[in-house]
A and B are shown apart, each in its own frame.
Chain A
Amino acid sequence: MSLNLPPRYSHKTGFTLIELLVVIAIIAVLVAILLPAVQQAREAARRTTCRNNLKQLGIAMHNYHDTHNAFTFGWNQHGFGWSAMILPQIEMNNVYDRLHFRESGPGNWNNLGSAGNQTAVGIVITVFRCPTMAQPETIYDTNHQTDRVPASYRACASGTAIYDWDNYTPSGEEWLYNSPQNGICYGASATNMRDITDGTSNTVLIGESYTDPVFVQDRVTPDVWTIGSFQIDAWDINADGTPTSGALSGSNEFTEFVGSMGAPMNSRKFASTSGFQKQAAFGSYHVGGGNLAFADGAVRFVSENVDFELYKRLGTKSGGEVISDF
């Protein structure tokens, strides 16, 4: 009986163009609905990983405090950052063992022939990197170390500082070079838990940063790295922590390891802020704010629209200010 039917009703498999277009249209609508949701879910997962990283670093800082009875310094006169000191606490003893803590000779950051410190800064340690950060694993830094690893997290040195270098002479606490600073981790610091009189839940220990080693404004760059830097070695300080006058053999790029609450959160995302604020400020590649680890170990996502006076108070460890809920 099928022999007399027109070809249209034959049993050959196939789609008409209309059917195909309808299917494509339906799929397009579904994709348009689902894609943003999927991407948001992926970003939420990355943000959670970032919070977890900060939590791990906060716990590592506490373990360091238990061992040494003080939080680690933000940076020291040998060119090392806080992240180098807690390597044993994050099970990176093998990297820690490669480091040379010396003023001169092999291992000095200025000596480009030394292998230990130079190779250590090229090792990718994922706990120091927020997965949302749109930066490559290593960057060839021609001026200084080759193949450095951009990092996401910096210790909080201050609630007031904006500048880090000595070519300018801003007053007192605006200047990271001045030591002691009013945060927890600054130059050659050894802050004990009892020094945090504002309360550990009201004081920021580590914050997320908007790392971007390519961007330049006011001739400074918001670059953040792990372990140590050529550009801090050697930072000349007296025994009491005050800077010596002049005669610097290194540079003062302290913001590679510490940030400051003295610059508004996410300054990098606003054109009107200065290059110094963009460099010193905490921030993130997430939308609307950034994660901050407090000295009690808690990690909170703080909005970039938070009251700036309140935000600054969170950076000082013993300012005696009243902190309202945020």
Chain B
Amino acid sequence: MMIRLSARFAHSLLSLLAILCFGCGPNSTAKLSYDSLGLTEVTGVVRLDGEPLEGATVSMVPEGSFSGSFGTTDASGKYRLMYTSEKSGVTPGVKIVRVSTADKGAESAPGKERVPSKYNSKSTMKVVVPANSSLEWNIELDSSNGKVNAPEVIKEDR
């Protein structure tokens, strides 16, 4: 059980080890802890008169507030509500639901509104979001009828 190593080899091995130990220091952006918020995953499809609605912003925001969760629909109408750009979900509580193709936030120019105002600026759709759950909600919008389907877990709060 004896291995001969040349001094030069051992030296270079130790240098390599030292270099490996000194890697990059902790220098990344803040890692936020979202666990205490009780976020509930909300996904689904938005359809307007049966057709998938592309490029619409779906939002769930508490009444009288501007801070909540937002999602944008893709070509097949699918959305996922995001709390931040790195974390999906909606905080629990009573939220007002809005669907709009015009409102794209402060940092983008507004688009053309294709959704009736009863679903966005004049929305009275209230839902109660539970904590630490996962929901799939297909939002069926009707340009003639103001009613929206709500799944069992998200009940309309009246």
Contact = CB atoms under 8 A, between A and B. Distances in A.
Bound together? yes
Interface of A: 8, 12-17, 20, 23-24, 27-28, 31, 35, 39, 42-43, 132, 134, 143, 163-165, 167-168, 210, 212, 214-221, 231, 251-253, 268-272, 274-276
Contacts of B7: 13-15
Contacts of A23: 10, 14
B75 interface: no
A269 B17 CA distance: 34
A31 B16 CA distance: 13
Which of A12, A17, A132 has the largest count of B CB atoms less than 10 A from its CB?
A: A17
10 contacts: A13-B6, A14-B7, A23-B10, A132-B27, A217-B84, A219-B104, A251-B106, A269-B30, A271-B37, A276-B67
A35 B23 CA distance: 10
A195 B144 CA distance: 58
Interface string B52-91: 0000000000000011101000000000000111110000
B12 interface: no
Interface string B21-56: 110011111101110110000000000000000000
A179 B108 CA distance: 23
Given A14-B4, A16-B3, A134-B29, A163 B66 contact: yes
A251 B107 CA distance: 7
Contacts of A16: 2-3
A275 B84 contact: yes
Contacts of B1: 17
A27 B4 contact: no
Nearest to B68: A218
B6 to A, nearest CB: 7
A212 B30 CA distance: 10
Given A27-B14, A35-B21, A216 B106 contact: no
A14 B10 CA distance: 9
A218 B37 contact: no
A214 B86 CA distance: 10
Shortest 5 CB-CB contacts between residues of A and residues of B: A219-B105, A274-B67, A216-B85, A217-B84, A14-B4
A215 B22 contact: no
Contacts of B30: 210, 268-269
Contacts of B18: 27, 31
A218 B36 contact: no
A311 to B, nearest CB: 19
Nearest to A16: B2
Which of B1, B28, B30, B103 has the largest count of A CB atoms less than 10 A from its CB?
A: B30
A145 to B, nearest CB: 14
Contact of B107 (A13, A212, A221): A221
B158 to A, nearest CB: 26
Contacts of A27: 14, 17-18
Given A168-B66, A276-B67, 6 more contacts: A27-B17, A39-B26, A165-B106, A218-B70, A219-B106, A271-B87
Given A218-B66, A220-B107, A15 B10 contact: yes
A270 B6 CA distance: 54
Contact of A20 (B10, B68, B70): B10
Contacts of A269: 30, 32
Contacts of A276: 66-67
Nearest to B70: A219
A272 B17 contact: no
A48 B32 CA distance: 26
Contacts of A15: 4-5, 7, 10
A231 B34 CA distance: 31
Given A15-B7, A16-B2, A42-B25, A220 B34 contact: no
Nearest to A7: B2
B95 to A, nearest CB: 14
Nearest to B85: A216
A39 B37 CA distance: 33
Contacts of A214: 29, 85
Contacts of A164: 106
A215 B86 contact: yes
Contacts of A272: 36-37
Nearest to A32: B21
B52 to A, nearest CB: 22
A167 B86 CA distance: 24
